[in-house]
Each structure stands twice: as structure tokens, then as C-alpha cells.
Structure 1
Amino acid sequence: MLRLDQATYDAIVAHAKRDHPDEACGIVAGPEGSDAATRHVPMINAAGSPTFYEFDSSELLALYKEMWAKDEEPVVIYHSHTATEAYPSRTDIGLANEPGAHYVLVSTREHGNSDGPVEFRSYRIIDGDVTEEPVEVVEQLTESA
């Protein structure tokens, strides 16, 4: 199960809506080994595409160096789909190389960057095997939550 605080959930959704009609992408980092998604980092979609996302390699390298220095890891890796459901494409599955991460997809296909709900789903992707998991949004993360 993926557990997110409301502020992080809202920030991911806002990023997906803001970048629509292009796909948005980003990471939520957390303390190594904790599975606590605590630090939202919106990234640039270097592809600038409505059908594909690509992390900017220099931005991603800088983020990984920062995470290593802070004993963090990517807890959530997210991107948006602008015209299709929030389910990993074959390309998304091929790019999933963090077996411990939650892969979040946000579909903005229904309302774009206008007000209205989005489809927000999380998956574990390990060796090409996709498993959907529940998402729980809480007011704020605590040690026991």
C-alpha cells in the first residue's frame, strides 16, 4: 500500500494538471528503508511530450546525489498520462528500474488542466510484473501511519 500525506498528493496532482497537455514527472523521496514519501521533487519532462516522459539526465543525477547525501531513496516515481488511463504503458514498464519504489500514474485525460478529478493509481513494477496497490491519503504522515 502507498500512503501519502494530503499535501504531497495535492502537489503531485497540481504538477500533472500544470504540465498538461504534456506529461509531468517527478519523484517523492524519503528516508532510506522507511517507505515514507516525505519530499516531493517535481522534475522537468525533458521529452516535452504529451505521450512520453523522460527525466532530464543532469537533473536526475543531481537529485540522486542529493538523496544519497541525505540517506534518502526514491519512494514514489510518478508521471502523468494526458490522454489514456493511469496504467503503465509498455514503455513505462521497461523504464521501471527501482524495485522498491511505488510507481504512481495520474491521468489528466478527463479534465486536463481544468478543475475536476484525476485518476490517481499506484503500482509496484518488478522485473516487468505490474501489481496495482491501494493508495491511502492521510492528513499527515506519522511514525505509525
Structure 2
Amino acid sequence: MLQIDRSTHDAIVAHAKRDHPVEACGMVVGPIGTDRPERLIEMVNAAGSPTFYEYDSTDLLQLYREMDDRDEEPVVIYHSHTATEAYPSVTDINLAGEPGAHYVLVSTAEHGNNDGPVEFRSYRIIDGVVTEEEVSVVDVTAAEESS
């Protein structure tokens, strides 16, 4: 199950709506081994495409160096689908290289960047096997509660 705080959830949805009709993409990173999505990093879709996303290689390398320096790892890897449901495409599955990550898909197909709900779903993708998981949106993260 993915547990994500409301403000991060809402920021991911806002990013997806803002970038529509181009697929939005990004990550939420957290301390290694905790499975806690704590820090949202919006990335630029270098492909500028409504049908697939691609991280800029320089930006991605910089992000991984930063995560390494901060003892963080990708907890959530997200992107949007602008014309289809929030389910991983064959390309998404083939590119899923972080077996510990939650892969979040947000579909903006129904309302685009207008007001209205989006489809927000999370998956584990390991060795090409896609497993949908429950998403629990909480008002406060466990890390904030213990502070």
C-alpha cells in the first residue's frame, strides 16, 4: 500500500493538470529503507510528448547524486497519462527500473487541465509484473506525527 500525504498527492495532481496535454513526470523521494515519500521533485518531460515521458538525462543524474548525498531513494515515481486510463503502458513497464518504488499514474484524460477529478492509481512493477496497490491519502505523514 502507498501511504502519501494529502499535500504531496495534491501537488502531483496539480502538476499533471498544469502540464496537460504533455505528460507530467517526477518523483517523491524519501530516506533510504523507509518507504516514506517526503520530498517532491517535479521533473521536466524532455520529450514534450502527450503520449510518453522522458527525464532529461542531466537533470536525472543530478537528482540521483543529490539523493545519494542525502541518503534518499525514489519512493514514488509518477507520470500522467493525458488520453488514457491510469494504467502502465508496455513502455512504462519496460522502463520500470526501481523495484522498490511505487509507480503512480495520474490520468487527466477526462478533464484535462480543467477542474474535475483525476484518476490516481499506484502500482508495483517488478520484473515486468504489474500489481496495483491501494493508495491511502493521509492528512499528516507518520514523520510529521513523530516530530
Q: TM-score, normalised by structure 1?
A: 0.98
- Give the counterpart letter for 1:57 in structure 2: S
**How far apart are the structure 1 equivalents of 2:98 and 2:140?**
25
Q: CA deviation at 1:20?
A: 0.1
Letter in 1 for 2:83: A
How far the C-alpha of 1:142 sits from its partner, in A, is 1.1
Q: CA deviation at 1:120?
A: 0.2
Aligned residues: 145
Matched, 1:51 2:51: yes
Deviations for 1:66-123, whole angstroms, at most 9, x for unmatched residues? Answer: 0000000000000000000000000000000000000000000000000000000000
Gaps of 5+ in 1: none
- C-alpha separation in 2, matches of 1:91 and 1:34: 28
Give the equivalent residue in structure 2 for 1:7. Answer: 7
1:34 paired with 2:34, answer: yes
| AA partner of residue 27 (structure 1) | M
TM alignment of 1:1-145, pairs within 5 A: 1-143=1-143
2:142 counterpart SS class = coil
Runs of 5+ in structure 2 lacking a partner?
none
Runs of 4+ in 1 over 3 A off after TM superposition: none
Q: Write the deviation string for residues 113-145 of structure 1: whole angstroms up to 9, x where unpaired.
A: 000000000000000000000000000101489
> 1:36-64, CA deviations, whole angstroms, 9 ceiling, x for partnerless residues?
00000000000000001001110010000
Q: Percent identity?
A: 72
What is the RMSD of the two structures over their aligned residues, measured on CA atoms? 1.1
TM-score, normalization: structure 2? 0.97
- Whole-Å separation in 2 of the counterparts to 1:90 and 1:127: 13
Quick one: which amino acid aligns to residue 123 of structure 2?
A: Y
Task: For 2:85 and 2:3, locate their aligned partners in 1 and report how far apart those are by CA, in whole Å.
Answer: 21
